[in-house]
Structures are given as C-alpha cells and as structure tokens.
A = this chain, B = another copy of it.
Amino acid sequence: MIVTAVMIQVKPDSITKFIEATVKNHEASVRERGNLRFDVLQDADDPSRFMLYEAYETEEAAAAHKKTPHYLEWKKTVEDWMQKPREGIPYTVVKPLDKNKWR
C-alpha cells in the first residue's frame, strides 16, 4: 500500500469551483481498481489550503490513476486556480498494514 498526500493552495476566489471539480475527481477516483482512499480535506484554519489523501494498493494502481480521464480533466481544470504548484508527498504505510482497514 502506498499513500500520497497532495498539498494544494488555491486562490481565494477559486475555492468554491476548486471544491466542485475536486469532488468530481474524488467520486471517480474511489471507483478505480486498487484505490483504497481518496479523502478531500480543507484546512480548518485557512480555507484556501487543501490536502488530498490518496491511498492505493500498489504503485501500479497509483500510477494508473494519473492516466485516467477524470484525473487529467481535474488537473487541467484546476491548474490556473492554484496559488503555487501543488506538492505530492509519497508515503509508505507503517500502520495499519491490514488492507481491510483501508476500505
């Protein structure tokens, strides 16, 4: 299992449409084979900051996500709404290691 935390800062006037586009990406991503989580989170102290918490069973499934039509559409749609390039931090899972705890 691998997790990627994607840290995003959105322009203040783009927050509402960013959420709308990202919810659409979420709905399709959780249906991908090998996806375990695709949590969309908004910073409680700064509503212009978001984290996407993406968990996949394998490196291959995570890589396949980046070739899906919904990801590519999201990427293109939100590009101009970001204050700076987003940062993806790759993580290995220490706990829980039971795959059933991720669904």
Instruction: Give chain A's interface residues, CB within 8 Å of chain B.
Output: 2-3, 5, 19, 22-23, 26-27, 30, 38-45, 50-51, 53, 89-96
Contact = CB atoms under 8 A, between A and B. Distances in A.
B44 A90 contact: yes
A26 B50 CA distance: 25
Complex copy number for this chain: 2
Contacts of A90: 43-45
Given A51-B91, A53-B53, A91-B51, A3 B96 contact: no
B91 A23 contact: no
B39 A89 contact: no
29 contacts: A2-B44, A3-B39, A3-B41, A3-B53, A5-B41, A22-B95, A23-B94, A26-B95, A30-B96, A39-B93, A39-B95, A39-B96, A40-B93, A40-B94, A40-B95, A41-B91, A41-B92, A41-B93, A42-B91, A42-B92, A42-B94, A43-B89, A43-B90, A43-B91, A44-B92, A45-B89, A50-B94, A51-B91, A53-B53
